[in-house]
Structure 1
């Protein structure tokens, strides 16, 4: 069963021999929306390969607030987790389930041995670092150069894309927390976006009316 699940998610990326090894050592873990999968300050002994669902990667600031860095989806892993695994360091990120899903957890020591054994694994690891690095640069650019209203709308679009839905089931306070802002500011900007015809504010959710950025 493990082999079929890994094959479906990663068969287009890894060769058959590596798929078999992953299936033989991986522990499949189901997770629920909102569950903390990796926490700040904890040692990481396994690395995640996401089978399905979505996970958001958060960074804690000095005031104990949080900032969304990026999402990982099916076929992804977390580059910051890889770095902590290889350096035997405590985690500097928090991974929180954005949706229900399934992840294959790989013991750390296999990651290093596969780097020398499988070319597809090396390519996957390097590509993951590159993708996550670019996403973190985009997050920094958003903070440094993008107005809060644009950051908010970008966040809504990205959340809708990750969840494959035009409906965002988050409170104003939850959005403010992830954008490291205040509920009052977020509520005001959401109302402005509604007046522009980009979203519709409902009692328990936010509906995207336009998907273009």
Structure 2
């Protein structure tokens, strides 16, 4: 188990003055949550600011028609931009956060977050730097969904998920959520990739049979 104080595992927090770090450590609680836990959801108000120490959290939104899209993921050493936004505006969540793995996170109460944002410029800078970076990432994701060809985006996602391996464990539904499109669109595109000899599909698994061809498509700007 990592014995380093949790604030020192976040570069922005490790540079805070000793008094502020002491407040964070004294007023926080370290939580261990199992995979699959719904950490927050639409209509709920955040009571804590979470700093992820271990694991991965998927933040996704569901439309009125039931279509889901992954907005972003939170990894160790990161905080949640949606939680930050809701804390700053006293608003409810509009999306849900789900633990993709077992996670460990430090939680500071809303009251502590409010006090430190008001009185500590370094803490405030940490919050808004993380916030602005994630907002930029979200704009890039919106641009991809709105303007980039689905075949290019699917090839990019398959390459990302494969990470150098030949087989990918993913269903058509999971890929549709990742890319913010209908499952039928993903199914048609995967069938086309298979027709070209780039992949071979089996239940819940996609095997890449022509990596260079898939890479060429993924590197296009559509």
TM-score bracket for the superposition, by shorter chain length? 0.7 to 0.9
Larger Rg: 2
Match of 2:142 among 134, 140, 144: 140
Structure 2 distance, partners of 1:95, 1:25, is 23
Which residue of structure 2 aligns with residue 20 of structure 1? 22
Tell me how large the CA RMSD over aligned residues is.
Answer: 3.1
Are the equivalent residues in 1 in contact too, given 2:176–2:182 (CA < 8 A)?
yes
Report the CA distance between 1:181 and its aligned residue. Answer: 2.7
- Please show how residues 177-188 of structure 1 align to structure 2 within 5 Å: 177-188=177-188
Q: TM-score, normalised by structure 1?
A: 0.81
Within 1, Cα distance between the matches of 2:205 and 2:70? 20
1:169 aligned to 2:169? yes
1:56 aligns with 2:66: no
1:146, distance to aligned residue in structure 2 (A) = 0.8
Q: 1: CA distance between counterparts of 2:198 and 2:37? A: 30
Unaligned runs of 5+ in 2: none
Structure 1 unaligned spans of 5+: none
Task: Pick the aligned partner of 1:89 from 85, 88, 91.
Answer: 91
The Cα of 1:94 is off from its aligned counterpart by 1.0
CA distance in 1: counterparts of 2:23 and 2:194, whole angstroms:
50
Structure 2 residue matching 1:4: 3-state secondary structure? coil
8 Å CA contact 1:47–1:105 kept in 2: the answer is: yes
After TM superposition, give the deviation of residue 49 of structure 1 in Å: 0.5
Q: What is the distance in 1 between the residues matched to 2:131 and 2:166?
A: 30
> TM-score normalized by structure 2?
0.78
Q: Larger deviation: 171-180 or 94-103?
A: 171-180
Paired with 1:46 and 1:114, the residues of 2 have a C-alpha distance of 13
- Paired positions, count: 211
Partner of 1:125 in structure 2? Answer: 127
Cα distance in 1 for partners of 2:68, 2:78 equals 22
How is 1:2-13 mapped onto 2 (pairs within 5 angstroms)?
A: 4-7=4-7, 9-10=9-10, 13=13
- The alpha carbon displacement at 1:182 in A equals 2.9
The alpha-carbon distance between structure 1 residues 202 and 105, as it changes in their structure 2 partners (threshold 3 A), is farther
Question: Could you list the per-position Cα deviations for residues 24-65 of structure 1 after superposition, in whole angstroms to 9, with x for gaps in the alignment?
Answer: 222222233332111011111111111121112112223232
How has the CA–CA distance of structure 1 residues 201 and 86 changed in structure 2, closer, same or farther, with 3 Å as cutoff? same
